Amino acid sequence: MAGRFVDFSRTHYLGNLDPSMEGKQVTVGGWVEDLRKMGKLTFLTLRDVTGIAQVILAGDTAKSIEGITRQSVIRLTGTIQKTKARDFDFEIKSENIDILANAVHPLPIDPIGRLESDIDKRLNARALDLRNQKTAAIFKIRHHVLASIRNTLSKKSFIEINTPKIIGSASEGGANLFSFKYFDKQAYLAQSPQLYKEQLTMGLERVFEIASFYRAEKSHTGRHLSEFTSVDIEAAFMDYNDVMNILESLILETLQYVKENCKDEERILEIKTAIPNSPFEKITYKQAIEELQNEGIELKVGDDLQDAHLRSLGKKHTGFYFITDWPIKLKPFYIQEKDDDSTLSESFDLQHGFLELSSGGTRLHNPEKLRSRLKEQDLDPNAFSDHLRSFEWGMPPHAGWGLGLERLLTVIIKIDNVREVILYPRDPERLSP
């Protein structure tokens, strides 16, 4: 092989081969998953991103790969033929093979999964972990979920936007921000696109963003990340009921898309996507309080719902459901109060059991009311001067929500740790790779 040109091209992915192609010559490439000798023959299991196949080598072809290690990269040309192997529908008889890259052993994890590794070891070798078919299946589903979300929102006349992630002040007035020096100024990483997406409804009316955002919370749970992916929408001339309907439609269409397009991934992960009943159940915040009080939990109207409370509610409400009409004091400064009760807000959280997936509501669009609300929440209107100024140019009534992508994926994939559904998670302990 030394000194000759090696072609890297392939004629087929392994997943596109089938027994009907018997006698056809193909060129394929991938990783050596397994290797064994039986007499004069060498049997090799080859995997690429689409599937696996058995390869048979004999004579000089077999000799050319002596000493090859598992997970090395090869490219081969061979002919599809029948097989007696129980685990395969066909096999490839190799006529020519090139070793493109050797894998150095010992490997940090076993990507086949014969030897189990904990999640930290797998994350430390994430690139290798993706050769595990279950891990790869998770991120293929993630890809399809994102494709479905973009398709759904585009059909509903939403325009995709990109907002700054380096900002000069807290986007929602909170304290849990990552701060750093931006040349000679103090800057922060954005917690959400909230203020920008509101401003953009003035010209684009309906906008959405799918992007990474950041929260400096030292949370050590399977639900929290320091860097997470948020799906955000904002729409002019809508209220919280309108955007709740959009959110429900998006969830249903996403689940249907996964059901139709991820059959192989579902088989690998041993899951089955179910389409929930529609419309989703809605309970008010006050109804939630009453349910908890009836269970003997000491709680009064005005108290926030903590994790233990949501877990209790989740035992009764096991699927997707909305909690609506929260006390105004529990919601951010930009949320609109209800017309018939100024102590309550036009707001909602979307839950799946105990897990909060999304939060949203109708926004204040009157600049004077917005200034008053900022002061009520002990926030300085001067810190939001650019935002407030834009409201004086004709801000339409508007509403929106933010949806945690990783949390939604844990529901779809039926897994309890968000670190499994993001490629390189960032949390209070993890900053690499």
What is the signed CA dihedral for 182, 184, 188, 190, rounded to 10 degrees? Answer: -60
Query: Where do the DSSP E strands lie in 41-83?
Result: 41-48, 51-58, 73-81
The pLDDT score that the predictor gives to residue 342 is: 96
Q: Which residues contact 74 (CB under 8 A, 6 or more apart)?
A: 29, 30, 31, 32, 46, 65, 68, 97, 98, 99, 100
The pLDDT score that the predictor gives to residue 366 is: 97
Residue 6 confidence class, pLDDT cut points 50, 70, 90: low
Question: Is 27 part of a structural domain of the chain?
Answer: yes
The pLDDT score that the predictor gives to residue 170 is: 73
> What whole-number distance in Å separates Cα of residue 196 and Cα of residue 212?
15
Question: Is 304 part of a structural domain of the chain?
Answer: yes
The pLDDT score that the predictor gives to residue 246 is: 99
- Mark whether 306 and 269 lie in a shared domain: yes
- Mark whether 199 and 271 lie in a shared domain: yes
The pLDDT score that the predictor gives to residue 173 is: 67
Q: What is the pLDDT of residues 21-70, one digit of tens each?
A: 999 999 999 999 999 999 999 999 999 999 999 999 999 999 999 999 99
- Mark whether 287 and 392 lie in a shared domain: yes
Question: Is 276 part of a structural domain of the chain?
Answer: yes
Q: What is the pLDDT of residues 265-317, one digit of tens each?
A: 999 999 999 999 999 999 999 999 999 999 999 999 999 999 999 999 999 99
Q: Is the pLDDT of residue 2 over 80?
A: no
Last residue of a domain, one of 49, 83, 101: 101
> What whole-number distance in Å separates Cα of residue 327 and Cα of residue 228?
27
Residue 282 exposed, middle or buried by CB count within 10 Å (0-12, 13-18, 19+):
middle
> What whole-number distance in Å separates Cα of residue 136 and Cα of residue 144?
13
Q: Domain total for the chain?
A: 2
What is the DSSP-derived secondary structure letter of residue 14?
A: G
Q: Is the pLDDT of residue 391 over 70?
A: yes
Helix (H, G, I), strand (E, B) or coil at 143: helix
How big is the chain, counted in residues? 433
Residue 113 confidence class, pLDDT cut points 50, 70, 90: confident
CATH for 390: 3.30.930.10
| Chain mean pLDDT for the chain | 96
- The domain of 34 spans 14-101
- Mark whether 90 and 213 lie in a shared domain: no
Last residue of a domain, one of 43, 66, 101: 101
What percent of the chain stands above pLDDT 90? 94
CATH for 79: 2.40.50.140
Q: What is the pLDDT of residues 365-389, one digit of tens each?
A: 999 999 999 999 999 999 999 999 9
Question: From residue 98, how far is each of 15, 59, 375, 417 by CA, in Å?
Answer: 20, 15, 70, 40
Strand partners, 358: 350, 403
What is the signed CA dihedral for 192, 194, 196, 200, rounded to 10 degrees? Answer: 130
> What whole-number distance in Å separates Cα of residue 86 and Cα of residue 33?
17
> Does pTM surpass 0.85?
yes
Q: State phi, psi for 33 to the nearest 5 degrees.
A: -85, -35
Question: Is 315 part of a structural domain of the chain?
Answer: yes
What is the DSSP-derived secondary structure letter of residue 169?
A: S
- Mark whether 343 and 405 lie in a shared domain: yes
The pLDDT score that the predictor gives to residue 1 is: 45
